[in-house]
A and B are shown apart, each in its own frame.
Chain A
C-alpha cells in the first residue's frame, strides 16, 4: 500500500519534471510570468495598505491579520499554479479529446491532468506570499507556543488543500459543459478572492455560501481566526476536516464527470 503511494508520488514528480523541462525551453516566458505574478499580487497589497492608512480596523481585524489572510490565499494560488496548473487544462482537453491518451495509461487520470502543466507565475506568488506571511506573523498580535506553531502548519496546509480541491471540483464542471474554457472554474476562482478579507464584512447569505457551498473561507479567514482567537476560532479548527471533505467531493465529482467524457472526432 505504502509502495503504491510512493510510486504515485514519485511519478507525479516525474510528470511535473517533464513539464518543467519542456517549459525551460521558453526562458523569457518564465521570467515574465514570475514578474506578472508579483506585480498583480503586489497591487492588491498596495490597495490593502492604502485602505488601512484610512481605517485602523476592518470588521475588528488589524492590518497584519488581514495581510495574513491575504497572503494565505496568495500562497495557495502559488502552490496551485506551480504544482497543479494542469487542472486548468481540463476544459481544453475534454473539448479536444486530448484526454484519450490519459485514460489508457496506468496512472490516475486526475493526477496526470494536474501534472500536465507548470505555471511559473506560481513561483512569484509563492515567494511573495511566504514573505508576507512571515512578516505578518512577526507583527501580528499573536500568542506563540510550539503547539500553536504546529497547529498553524496544519491549518495552513489544510487551507491550501481546500483551495486545490475546489480548483479540481470546479474545473470538473467542464465534463458537463464541454466548452473550451473553464468558465465555471474562472468564476469560482474570482469568488475565492473574497476570502482574502475578513468574512464579517460580507452579508450573511454570502458568508454562509463561502462557508458551506464553496468553502473558500477555509482557505484563509477561518484558519487565521483560530490563530488570532477571533469570533470564529472554533470553526477554524475544522479546517482539516473541511479539507478532507473537499478532496473527497472533488474526486467524486471528477469521477462522475469522467463517466460523461465523450472524446472527440468520429
Chain B
C-alpha cells in the first residue's frame, strides 16, 4: 500500500485537545461561569499516526464528531496540534504556512471559498493572482475542468446565485486551480443530488489518475468506493481501522444478498437444506425470496441453481456488499481492527 510510494503526509502522535466551558443552562449558569469558569478538555483527535504516500487516494471516515474535520484542519495547517507532529511534503504545515499553502488544496463542502458577490470567473481570477498561476495555465486548467464540471456555464454567474451543486463544482475548480499536489476534501458531496455527486466523483477520479494525493472525508460511501483505494476509520479521535478498501470489503463485507421473484410458492425447508451456509427467508410475499450468503462460501450461480431446481425464477437482483456495512460494523465494535498501516506493509 503506502509503502510502495514515497510518503508525502506523515503525522505522528497527532493530538488536538479542545477546551470547552462547562456552563449550567440559562443566564444564571452563564453568570456562574463568569465568576468561576470551569472547563472540560476533550481530545478531538487523539494520538493519530498517519502515513500517506504520494498519489494515494484515502477515504477518511467516521461518525459526526469523530474527529475527521479536525484531522483535516491539522494536516492543512489551520489548527496547531496540541501534541504530536505533522509533515506535509517535508514542511510543518502551520509553521511554514505559506510554503504549505502552495502545495495543498482544501475544500470544505459546507463552506464556500468563492467571493459571495463576485462571479465565479472573478473569484477564480483572484485565486489565479494569489497563487501566481500563469494565464495560459489558467485557461488550460479551466478547459480541462470544464469537461467534467461543466464550468463554462457557471463562470458568468455570481456565487450567491449558484445552486448547491453548481457551487460545489465551482469550489472544486477553485481548489484544484493551482495544481496542488495534495488535496484535502471535507465532505465534497454533502447535500448534492445524484447527478452532481457523479460529476464530483468523476472529477476526483481524474485528479487521482493525474497523480494528485487526495484525502477525503464523506458520509456517502459511494464517494469512497468510487474515488479511494484506502480506507481509514476514525472513532472518538482515534484511528480504529487503516487498510486497503478492497481487502476491508473482502474481510468484512462478505454478505451478498440475492432477492428473487418466483412463479410459485417455495418449500423453504428444502431450499435451506440445499444451501446450508446461506440464510433463506421469505420476502414481502410468498413469491419473493431473500437469500443472504457469504460470497466466499457460495457462488451466486450456485444459489440460483439450487433455486431453479425447485421453482422457475422470474426475476432476481443481486446486491453487492457495501463499504457502508464495514463501517457500520466497525462502529458497532463488531469487527476486530486490522493491524495499522505500516505494521503489515
Contacts and interface: CB of A to CB of B under 8 A. Distances in A.
Interface stretch (A11-19, A36-44, A228-236): A11-19
B126 A100 contact: no
B115 A104 contact: no
B78 A15 contact: no
Contact of B111 (A11, A23, A101): A101
A59 interface: no
A54 interface: no
A25 B122 CA distance: 14
Nearest to A96: B111
A14 B101 CA distance: 19
A14 B129 contact: yes
B118 A22 contact: yes
Nearest to B44: A266
Interface string A82-106: 0000000000000001101101111
A100 B111 contact: yes
Contacts of B158: 25
A265 B101 contact: no
Interface residues of B, number: 37
Interface string A246-266: 000000000000010111011
A186 interface: no
A22 B79 contact: no
B132 to A, nearest CB: 8
B316 interface: no
B86 interface: no
Interface in B73-92: 73, 76-80
B27 interface: no
Contacts of B129: 11, 14
Interface in B125-168: 126-127, 129-131, 158
A263 B71 CA distance: 12
B113 A101 contact: yes
Contact of A262 (B79, B97, B106, B131): B79
A21 interface: yes
Contacts, number: 77
A202 interface: no
B65 A22 contact: no
Contacts of B130: 11, 14-15, 105-107
Nearest to B174: A101
Given A11-B130, A97-B111, A106-B131, A266 B68 contact: yes
A106 B64 CA distance: 30
B133 to A, nearest CB: 11
Interface in A62-99: 97-98
A22 B73 contact: no
B102 interface: yes
Given A18-B122, A22-B118, A263-B73, A103 B68 contact: no
A198 to B, nearest CB: 38
B101 A104 contact: yes
22 contacts: A14-B126, A14-B130, A15-B130, A18-B118, A18-B123, A21-B118, A21-B122, A22-B115, A22-B117, A22-B118, A25-B158, A97-B111, A98-B111, A100-B111, A104-B76, A108-B98, A259-B80, A261-B78, A261-B79, A266-B64, A266-B65, A266-B70
Interface of B: 18, 44, 64-70, 73, 76-80, 97-98, 101-102, 104, 106, 108, 110-111, 113, 115-118, 122-123, 126-127, 129-131, 158
10 nearest A-B pairs in the assembled complex, by CB-CB distance: A22-B117, A106-B101, A101-B113, A104-B106, A103-B78, A18-B126, A266-B69, A266-B65, A106-B102, A106-B98
Given A104-B106, A105-B101, A263-B78, 18 more contacts: A18-B118, A22-B115, A22-B118, A25-B158, A98-B111, A101-B111, A101-B113, A104-B76, A104-B104, A105-B127, A105-B130, A106-B98, A106-B102, A261-B79, A263-B73, A265-B69, A266-B66, A266-B68
